[in-house]
Structure 1
Amino acid sequence: MLPIARFLEFTQRNKLFLKPEKVLLAVSGGRDSVLMAHLFNEAKLNFGIAHCNFGLRGKESDDDETFVRELASAFNVPFITVRFATAAFAEENRISIQMAARELRYNWFEEMRIQYGYQYIAVAHHQSDATETILLNLVRGTGISGLHGIRPKRINIIRPLLFLSSEEIKEHVSSNNIQFREDSSNSSVKYARNKIRLNVIPHLRELNPGLDETFASNSRRFEDIEEFLNIHAGSLRRTLFEAGKQGETYIPIGKLKALTPLKLLLFELFKPYNFEEPVLDDLVQAWDGQSGKKFESPTHTLLLDRQQLILKSNERPETHEVLIEEHENAIQWKHLYFKSRYETTHGLTIPTRHDIAFFDADLLQFPLKLRLWKKGDFFYPFGMKGKKKVSDLFTSLKLSLFSKENVPVLENGNGDILWIVGFRTDDRYKITPPTNRVFILENLNTHEQQGHVYRETIPRKRL
C-alpha cells in the first residue's frame, strides 16, 4: 500500500496546496519523483507532469524522457518536456554542469507553471536529501540559515515527499512494484553531494540509524533559532540605525561594541546590506582609531567617522532604497510616508484604492525593499497571466518622464516586485482562499503621480 494517509496529512499540515489546485510535478523518471507521481495519482489530485532532458547521458536521457511520457499517458494527465543544451549553457556562463541544470530547469518549470495555469511546482526532495543538504552546507561553511535544510514550501515550489526517508521510498517502490529509471550518474562520486550520500552518510547511520529523523528535528530547532535571531536583529537595527536626510544611516560605534555575542549580532545586523564576515572582522579591528576608513559590500559602503559608522548605498542618490523589516510599521521613502500592519482574512475587505496594497504575508521574504524602478524591471500584474515590463505599464498609463523618475516599487526579499506603488500589485502575492495572514502597506501621502490615479478594475471580493 502507498502511504497516502501520511502524504495527505503532510501536505495539509504544511499547507502545500488545496485539493482543487493544479500542481506541476517535476518528474525525472527516477525512484523518488516516480513515487511522487504515483501518490498524486492515487490521491486523485489535479496534476500534470513536466520532464527535463538535459542531454548529458545520450540514449539514457532519451529513454528517461520516453519513460516519463508513458507514465503521464498511463495516468492520463498532461505532459510537457524540454531538451536543453546543458553543457553548452554551463560553458557559456562559466558554471558547473549541476548549477547549469538547476538554473535551466527551475526557470523552465516557472515558465510552464505560468503558461499552463498551475499553482505550484512539486519536486521530489525527501528527508535524506535534507540531511545531505545540511551536511554539505556544514562542510562548505554556513550560517544558521544553512542548518534548517530544505523547507516544504518556498513561494511556488513545494516538496511533498519530505515526510519520507530514502529507505522508506525504496521500500514503498519495491513493495508496490513501481517501475522507475536508474540514473547512472547517481553512483558516481564525481559530485560533492554524491560523496556525502555514498561515503559519509552510511557511516553516520551506523552511529544513528534514525539519522534523517534526528536531522529533521534539529533543522526545525535551527529554523526557530533563525526566526528568533531575525526578530532580535530587526529590533536592534531599529534601535541603533538612525536614518539621515540624504539616504545615509548613522550607527553609534559605542553601542555596537556593547553587543554580545558581538560577531554573530554584527553579521546579522549588516546581513541585509550584503557585508561578509571578513569585512566585518576588519571593521572591528579598525573602529578604535582609523577614522575615515571605508568598508564595502557589493551594494553598500560603511564609513568610519570618529564615534559612528555611516552606511550608504553604493548606488547613485537618485536610486534611493529603503529596507522594510518584518515588524516595522512606519517607513519613509524620500518624500513619501508609509505604514504597515498585519491582519487576518476574517472579515477583511479589500478596497479599490491606489494608495494601499494587500499581500499574503506567508509569501513575503523580509526585509522588503522600497526603491526606484529600474530598466528591465518586470512583474505579473494582478488579475493577468504572464509578466509585464514596468516600463510598458508606464507607457500604457502615459506617464511623463518626470513622473516615471519618482515612482517607487516594492521589492520582495527574493527580488520579485510586489507593487508598483500607486498603480498595480503583483498577482503572485495576492490574497487567496488559503491565505491566513495579510500584510498591508499604505501610502499616507496624497500622492497621485502627477495627477494620474490608477484605479484597479479587477473585481475584488470580500474574504
Structure 2
Amino acid sequence: MLLKNFQNHINDNLSFLKGSRLLIAISGGIDSVVLVHLCHQLNLNVALAHCNFNLRGKESDGDEDFVIQLANSIDIEAFTESFDTQGYANEHKISVQMAAREMRYFWFDELAQQLQFDYILTAHHADDNLETFLINFSRGTGLDGLTGIPEINNKFVRPLLPFSREQIVDYAKDNQLEWRVDSSNASTKYLRNKLRHEVIPILKEINPSLLQSYQSTINNLSDATDIVEDHLEQFFQEAVVSIEESKMTFKISEFKKQNNPRAYLFETFKDYGFTEWNDALNLLDAQSGKYILSNTHRLIKHQDHLLLSKIVPGELIEIVVSDTSQEIETPFGMMCFSEVDEISDNSTTSIYVDRALLKFPLLIRQWKVGDVFFPFGMKGRKKVSKYFKDEKLSLLDKESTLLLCSENNIVWIVNRRADNRFRVTEATQEILKIELK
C-alpha cells in the first residue's frame, strides 16, 4: 500500500525526481532504509550517503558497515564520511546535535556539487513534522515555525513527508527489511525523543486522527502565511531604504504607521537572531545611536532609520605605509599614492598634500576617542567625534571610517575630510595625490 501511495505522490507532486540523479541521506535506521527500498522499487537513479559521527563507538561503525552492505546488495553506490563530532562541537561551542547537523548538511551539499547530484533526499515523515511543530511551539515561534518541515528546500527533498511512522514500520515488516536501531533514540534526555515517547502517544490517544488533524492545521497555517508574505512584501517595498554589503536601512516611519509595529519588527528581523521584541519596539523612539544585539547582528537607531548590520569580531586595523611607491590594500579599497604637477580635481575620495610635510612611515587606522584634526579650509582644530556628530554619521559609518596619520597627526579622514596642516600651498615643491579606489 505504501509503495503505491509513494509512487502516486512522486508522479503527482515530485515528478522532477524521475530522471534526476539523487543522493539519499541514510543513517541505517528504519525511515531511511524504507526510503531507499521505495526509490529502488521505482527504479529511481539513487546513491547513498552515510555520516559516521563516531558518537556510539562500535554501534556507529556497525551502522556504516550496514549501509555499505545494503548498497552492495542492491548494486548502488554508497559514500561514507567519518566525523569528529565532539571535537567540532567543542571547537565551535555548540551542542553535539547542532554540530552533527551542520557537518551533515555541509557534506551532503559538497558531495552533491562535486558529483553533480540533482537532489538530496532525506527520510523525514509526518511524525517528524509533528515533532518539529511541537518543538518550535514549545520554544516560541512565529507562523514560519508552525508550518512544519518544507517538502522541498532548494536541493533537499523529503518525499516521505506525507506518510506516517506507522505506515513506514508496517512496510518494513511486510517486506522483511532489516535496519539498524540507534540506542540513543530511546533516551528521553533530548526534547525530540521526550515528545516522541511521552507526549505524542498521549495526544494520539486523545485524538487517534492526530496526524490528519495536524496536516489540516498545517495547510491552514500555510495559507495564512501566504497572505502574510504578500502583505509583508508590500511593506518591505515601502520600508527598505537601501540594501548594502555592510548594512540594510529601514524607515522607522513605516513601522510606526502600522497598527502593531511590534509584529512588523518581528517579521522583518526574526531571521537575524533577535528575541527581545519589546526592546526592538522601544528602539523606534530611542535616541539616535541606541542599539540592540543578537548573537550575530546589531540593530541601530540612527535618526529616522533603523540600520541592520552583521556583527564582525573586533579587529584592530593598523596598516603601515612605508613609502608612496606602493598601493596599499585596506578593508574599504586600495589606497594609491601618486606625484602630480597640479591639483586637477576635488572629490571626497582623493586629497592633495605637500609631500615634504609627511613623516614616514604613515599609519592607516581606525579613529579613537580623543582624536583631533584641523579640517581643511579652517584654522581651528576639531574633535573627530564632533565632526562625526556634525556630519550626522551613524555608528556603522563611524566604525567603517579610517584615518591616515603622519606620526600622531591626522592627514585625512579617509573619504571625508583632509587636514589643513598638510594642504598644498605656493611654497609646496612636491604635490602628492592620495586616493582610495
Coarse TM-score class (shorter-chain normalised): 0.5 to 0.7
Measured in 1, the distance between the counterparts of 2:38 and 2:152 equals 18
Offset of 1:275 from its aligned partner?
7.0
**Contact 1:16–1:158 (CA under 8 A) maintained in structure 2:** no
Which letter maps to 1:219? Answer: I
Q: Which residue of 1 aligns with 2:136?
A: 137
Q: 1: CA distance between counterparts of 2:248 and 2:165?
A: 51
8 Å Cα contact 1:113-1:119 kept in structure 2: yes
Q: 1:244 to 1:213 in 2, by over 3 A?
A: closer
Structure 1 residue 117 and structure 2 residue 116: aligned?
yes
Find the aligned partners of 1:30 and 1:315 in 2 and give their Cα distance.
40
Q: In the alignment, what sits opposite 1:225?
A: 224
* Structure 1: stretches of 5+ with no match in the other structure: 320-449, 451-463
1:292 aligns with 2:288: yes
Are 2:89 and 2:95, in contact at CA under 8 Å, matched by a contact in 1? yes
**Counterparts in 2 of 1:16 and 1:184: CA distance versus 1, 3 Å:** farther
Change (3 A) 1:115 1:285: closer
Of the three residues 273, 281, 286, the one matched with 2:278 is 281
Q: Which residue number corresponds to residue 303 of structure 1?
A: 301
CA distance in 1, matches of 2:186, 2:18: 37
Provide the C-alpha distance between the structure 2 equivalents of 1:315 and 1:192, rounded to a whole number of angstroms: 30
Please give the secondary structure, in 2, of the residue aligned with 1:311: strand
1:50 maps to 2:44: no
What is the CA distance between 1:81 and its match in structure 2? Answer: 1.0
Does the 8 Å contact 1:53/1:62 carry over to 2? yes
Q: Would you say the 8 A contact 2:289–2:302 is kept in 1?
A: yes
Q: Distance in 2 between matches of 1:16 and 1:132?
A: 27
Contact 2:185/2:193 (<8 A) preserved: yes
Distance change in 2, residues 1:13/1:85 (3 Å): same
Equivalence for 2:422:
none
For residue 124 of structure 1, give the secondary structure of its aligned residue in structure 2.
Answer: coil
Which residue of structure 2 lines up, in the alignment, with residue 153 of structure 1? 152
Percent identity over the alignment?
37
Question: Residue deviations 1:308-328, cap 9 Å, x none?
Answer: 335364689969xxxxxxxxx
User: Which residues in structure 2 correspond to 1:423-434 (within 5 Å)?
Assistant: none
Verify the 8 A CA contact 1:90 1:100 in the aligned structure 2.
yes
Question: Bigger radius of gyration, 1 or 2?
Answer: 2
Change (3 A) 1:291 1:205: same
In the alignment, what sits opposite 1:89? 88
Decide whether the 8 Å contact of 1:244 with 1:250 is kept in 2.
Answer: no
Measured in 2, the distance between the counterparts of 1:233 and 1:256 equals: 11
CA distance in 2, matches of 1:152, 1:248: 31
Q: What are the residue-to-residue correspondences of 1:47-446 with 2, within 5 Å?
A: 47-242=46-241, 249=249, 251-253=251-253, 256-271=255-270, 274=272, 276-278=274-276, 280-285=277-282, 287=284, 290-297=286-293, 298-303=296-301, 305=303, 308-311=304-307, 313=309
- Give the TM-score taking structure 1 as reference length: 0.62
Say what the alpha-carbon RMSD is for the aligned residues: 2.9
What's the offset of the Cα at 1:131? 0.2
Q: For 1:186 and 1:176, locate their aligned partners in 2 and report how far apart those are by CA, in whole Å.
A: 23
- Deviation, structure 1 residue 242: 4.4
Can you list the C-alpha shifts for 1:198-237, whole angstroms capped at 9, x where unaligned? 1110111111112122222212222222232122112122
1:431-456 deviation per Cα after TM superposition (whole angstroms, max 9, x unaligned): xxxxxxxxxxxxxxxxxxx9xxxxxx
Query: How far apart are 1:19 and its partner, in Å?
Result: 1.3
Secondary structure of the structure 1 residue equivalent to 2:51: strand
Give the CA deviation at 1:157. Answer: 0.8
Give the deviation of 1:116 after TM superposition: 2.2
Structure-1 separation of matches of 2:243 and 2:68:
60
Deviations 1:89-127 (A, max 9, x none): 222222211111111211111222222221111111000
Find out whether 1:39 has 2:38 as its counterpart: yes
265 and 50 in structure 1: CA distance in 2 versus 1, 3 angstrom threshold: same
Instruction: Measure how far apart 1:177 and its partner are.
Output: 1.3
Q: Which amino acid aligns with 2:126?
A: Q
Contact 2:279-2:292 within 8 A present in 1 as well: no
**Secondary structure of the residue that 1:303 maps to in structure 2?**
strand
Shift of 1:276: 2.5
Aligned equivalents of 1:147, 1:16: Cα separation in 2: 27
Structure 1 residue 169 displacement after superposition? 0.9
Question: Helix, strand or coil for the counterpart of 1:17?
Answer: helix
Q: Which runs of 5+ in 2 are unaligned?
A: 313-330, 334-436
1:276 maps to a residue whose letter is F
State the AA in 2 paired with 1:184: S
Deviation (angstroms), 1:252: 4.9
Contact 2:283 2:291 in 1 (8 A): no
Q: Displacement of 1:31 after TM fit?
A: 0.7
**Aligned equivalents of 1:309, 1:159: Cα separation in 2:** 41
Q: Distance in 2 between matches of 1:227 and 1:19?
A: 29
Deviation at 1:132, TM superposition (A): 0.2
Distance, in Å, in 1 between the alignment partners of 2:247 and 2:73 is 60
Letter in 2 for 1:311: L
Contact kept, 8 Å, 1:36 with 1:124, in 2: the verdict is: yes
Does the CA-based 8 Å contact 1:242-1:249 persist in structure 2?
Answer: yes
1:215-270 C-alpha deviation (Å, 9 max, x unpaired) = 222122222222321221121222344459998746253x5334123321232244
Q: Which residue of the partner structure matches residue 20 of structure 1?
A: 19
TM-score between both structures, scaled by the size of structure 2: 0.65
d(CA) in 1 for partners of 2:195, 2:95: 18
Which digits, 9 at most, give the CA deviation of each residue in 1:284-322, with x for residues without a partner?
Answer: 34645x4435224444543263xx335364689969xxx
Given residue 284 of structure 1, which amino acid in structure 2 is its aligned partner?
L
Q: Tell me how far apart the structure 2 counterparts of residues 32 and 250 of structure 1 sit (CA, whole Å).
A: 45
**1:379-406 deviation line (CA, Å, top 9, x unaligned):** xxxxxxxxxxxxxxxxxxxxxxxxxxxx
* Deviation of 1:71 (Å): 1.0
CA distance in 2 between counterparts of 1:248 and 1:175 reads 56
Q: Distance in 1 between matches of 2:193 and 2:184?
A: 9
In structure 2, the residue corresponding to 1:260 is in which secondary structure?
A: coil
Q: Distance in 2 between matches of 1:314 and 1:182?
A: 42
Counterpart code for 1:205:
K
Counterpart CA distance in 2 for 1:15 and 1:197 is: 28
